[in-house]
Amino acid sequence: MADLAVVFHWPPDALSGMSLEELGRWWAKARARAAPAEDADG
């Protein structure tokens, strides 16, 4: 949940009503947004 709050600037009460499945989907989106892009040159 902390990852979502940091990446999307959501307060904890916005996350508390989400199901685990929904949190998982948003976590994947947060990870994709926060992760650095792979460099094509390696």
Q: Three-state SS for 33?
A: helix
Decide if 21 is inside a domain.
yes
pTM exceeds 0.85 for this model = no
- Rounded to 5 degrees, φ, ψ at 11 are -75, 155
For the chain, the domain total comes to: 1
Query: Per the domain annotation, does 23 fall within a domain?
Result: yes
Question: How many alpha carbons lie under 13 Å from residue 32 in its C-beta half-sphere?
Answer: 6
Across residues 4-29, what is the average pLDDT?
93
pLDDT digits (tens, 9 = 90+) for 20-42: 999 999 999 999 998 876 655 55
Structure tokens at 5: 């709050």
Q: Are 30 and 4 in contact (CB under 8 A)?
A: yes
Residue 22 is encoded by which pair of tokens?
């929904």
In a domain, 6, yes or no: yes
- Per the structure, the complete domain to which residue 6 belongs is given by 2-34
pLDDT higher at 13 or 39: 13
Residue 42 lies in a domain: no
In a domain, 40, yes or no: no
